[in-house]
Amino acid sequence: MKFLLLGGLLLLSMASASVGRADDCVSKLTNEQHVIYAGLTPANQQMMANLKMKSGAPATCEFRAGLLDILGNFPPPDRDKALVQLVQKMFVKQN
């Protein structure tokens, strides 16, 4: 029972560290990138937080910021659709 509790605490601490990294990326965005990110649906914001490169490595903050810059070229109503297309067709593979 002690090992189960210890294992649960370890998993929670790893999950919180992962969320902390996602928050670090959000804090590094420019004001324009913040506006674009805030305009995405919650599901697409979660997708941005869980992006992986084709190699399987987690996407860097710079990559996410660049992706938001690309999305800035689309009209606001089309940004969610564009993000899904970019993720599925071009850049990254999802979990």
CA distance 73 to 82: 10
Quote the pLDDT of residue 52: 82
pLDDT for 35: 93
Confidence category of residue 88, pLDDT binned at 50, 70, 90? confident
State the Cα–Cα distance between residues 85 and 68, nearest whole angstrom. 13
Give the model's pLDDT for residue 73: 95
Nearest-angstrom CA–CA distance, 29 and 45: 14
pTM of the model: 0.68
Task: Note the pLDDT of residue 93.
Answer: 52
Chain segment 5-59, per-residue pLDDT in tens = 444 444 444 444 344 444 578 788 899 999 999 999 999 999 888 888 778 888 8
Find out whether 91 and 55 touch, Cβ atoms under 8 Å.
no
